Amino acid sequence: MQHHVIGSTGSASAEERALLDLYQAHTRDLYTYVLRLVGGDAYRAEDVVQEALLRCWAKRNLYDTATMNVRRWLFRVACNLVIDDYRARSLRPREISSTATWLKDVDSNCRDIERMLAALDLHEALEDLAPLHQEALRATYLDELSVQQAATALGIPPGTVKSRVHYALRHLHTTMRTRDETTAE
């Protein structure tokens, strides 16, 4: 299937295909999210989604898809655009009949999506752990076993459980910090 860009004479270039892939992969979910943030205003939601996609595309050289969650970045940009729009509108004189009571919930909605995206990042980071570290972490944190109980269950000395949990937590901390720094750019 060839994609044509308005005004072009041939098939889509690699950059145009990459933009199309970005659009197709994230637009529906991003639109649904932004529509909720803007209180159901479909026109504003479309504008925010387009602006978020354009901004991310314009800054595409700042992210590396191998190490960065593009979806999280895109949702954060969209959330920031909604907040910026809210701030700009709040500086203007108030309209006589304001139906924008939903704006009070914008910040909390952004925090909810941030928590969800952080949980997804944490899940990915947990999957990156060595299996031995995963099982020690699972036993002590998820199964809520003491170090001694985990050692017995895993058939290893308590010191080994402590060591594996320590290295697992250190790896998670480093991974999450790196993802946060990459997302902030």
Residue 7 has pLDDT above 50, yes or no: no
Amino acid 8: pLDDT: 47
pLDDT band at 167 (very low <50, low <70, confident <90, very high): very high
Residues across the chain: 185
Amino acid 159: pLDDT: 95
DSSP category for residue 12: P
pLDDT band at 103 (very low <50, low <70, confident <90, very high): very low
* More confident of the two residues 134 and 108: 134
All residues at 6 or more sequence positions from 20 whose CB lies less than 8 Å from its CB, including other chains:
3, 12
Highest mean predicted confidence (pLDDT) among 10-24, 78-92, 114-128, 140-154? 140-154
Specify whether the CB–CB gap between 156 and 163 falls below 8 A.
Answer: no
Amino acid 180: pLDDT: 66
Average pLDDT, the chain: 76
Residue 39, token pair as written in the block: 């209180």
Residue 129: φ, ψ to 5°? -70, 150
* More confident of the two residues 4 and 48: 48
126-165 tens-digit pLDDT: 888 888 898 898 889 888 889 999 898 889 999 999 999 9
In the chain, the domains with their CATH numbers are 1-104 (1.10.1740), 129-185 (1.10.10.10)
33-81 tens-digit pLDDT: 888 888 888 999 999 999 988 888 788 777 666 666 778 888 888 888 8
Helix, strand or coil, per DSSP, at residue 105: helix
Q: For 21-28, what is the mean pLDDT?
A: 80
